Structure 1
Amino acid sequence: MVEGQGSTQAPERPLPPHVTTPLLTLITARSMDEDYAHVAQKRAAAGDVRPRTSRPHWTSVLAIAVLGVLAAVVAAQTDRQAPVDELSRAALIEQIDSRSAELRSLQAQVGDLTRSNAALASRNTTIQGQLDDIGTRVQRAELNTGHAVVRGPGVRITVDNAPDAGVDNEVLDEDLATLVDGLWEAGAEAIAVNDQRLNVLGGIRNTNRAIHVNGRPVLAPYVVSAIGDPRTLQARLLETSQGQQWFGLVNGYGFLYEAENVDDIRLPAAPERALRDVIELNADPDGGPDGEGSTP
């Protein structure tokens, strides 16, 4: 190489667009360019060289107009309906307040009724206890007065006239009364003669030759049933004055006498009788109050 002479190099040329452009973009552009070129050639062949401007279709204009009218109608109805909606909202709020007040009133009534029910239940329990106590007292009074059916262990005594007894040697009402009084004194709790329960309102009476108990005739043999302690009742009868008198009658008149202990004796209730001459302690015979401390 000779010094002083420079070497020359050809400048590099840029790559063509079809090389640098992405393949997908290139395909899309070329297809659209070819379509536009084809349409332009057809128009030129037909002699139409004026550029075409896009005009809106009349249906689109009509649709836009309809939408505008509908929007205006909706806006007008909304403005017109606003006062009605406000009134409806106020009425609804008023109804809610009214129903809330009614609910509070009903809740207060429920509370009052609950407390009243609890008070009534407590009172009912008290009254029921009083009724049970009264029932027990009535039952005890019925047992003591003979107006209730009773059962229990005791003694059954059979009494009959002597086999060869005459009219003057028969068992009389007073003889049976002596035996009954002796049994009461010996500890008997309930007594019946031929299933006729004895109490303070009944009695043993002679009518001619027949003996009547509680006003009903009874015939020999006479069965005297007494509820009490069977272990001691007969022995105590012998110790009482009425019992000794009775056994004296048995030996003197030859009455037939047979006694046995029974584990279970059932006695009926005494018949009820109306009180004719008994008045309450705090009432006068005329029916007016006459208690202690009252002035005549």
Structure 2
Amino acid sequence: MCGMPQPPVRSTPSPPSRPDASMSLLTNVMDHSLDDGYAEAAARKQAEGGGGLPRTLRAKLGLALGLVFAALIVTVGAAQARIAAPVVAKEREELIDRIERETAAAEKIEADVDALREDVGRRQRAALQKHGGDKGELTALLAGATEVHGPGIRLVIDDAKDAEQGGGGPRESSGFSDTGRVRDRDMQQFVNGLWQSGAEAISINGQRLTSLSAIRAAGEAILVDNKPLVPPYTVLAVGNGQKLSTDFQASVDGQYLHALQENFNIRARIYVEDEVRLPAAPSLIVRNAEPLAGKGTS
């Protein structure tokens, strides 16, 4: 006898899984943001009466005294600062006044030194012209004792536009680094080139050069006879303007200047002038020559 077909045995359907089942750790953190240990400690402290503001009168008095003490400290500090402010301001004003007085005194001394130097130079030039005989004027001219004016050239030299402090470059092997700046050695070569090209008198930024003039460096500054110069450097040279310009640019020193322009962006312009004026040298060193005994000329 055939019975009725039995339906297939099916297992009890399991409840649908949660969408965040794979993120159980994150879910636990979200549901229990406070650690259980912390929660238990907070509950125990609250049950013992240790949480929140102090409840006993003694504790409240202690808190009040603490607040009063803190306020007193802040008040005393503010009062001291207010009292000290005028004293500090007065000391600052006194210091400024002292600096201004000392600066004025230094400037006066410097002006006196310049006046004395000019007076000495004037006396030296007068003595040179008086005792120089027929060649006194020429001697004074060659020694830089007199002002000079006449045709010549004006050579303006300046640092590169992007010149920076420090750095290095090919010219560093010559004893100084390349920073796009004109150096004292550069200026020495330019001046020597002008002398060799026929210049009769030369000045740099108003400083007259003589046979005893020194061009040196102090840090980034160029000194001429211990006088600091500020770029751009204006070199005036008296002579046959056009010939002097041509001969200088064709000389080794002129080519050196051109190389600085091309390789290090040193800026330079040369102009032929109908007349340039050079001041007298600020000071002269006058030496006397005496013949040796028994060595006079016949």
TM-score (norm 1): 0.48
TM-score (norm 2): 0.48
- Structure whose alpha-carbon radius of gyration is higher: 1
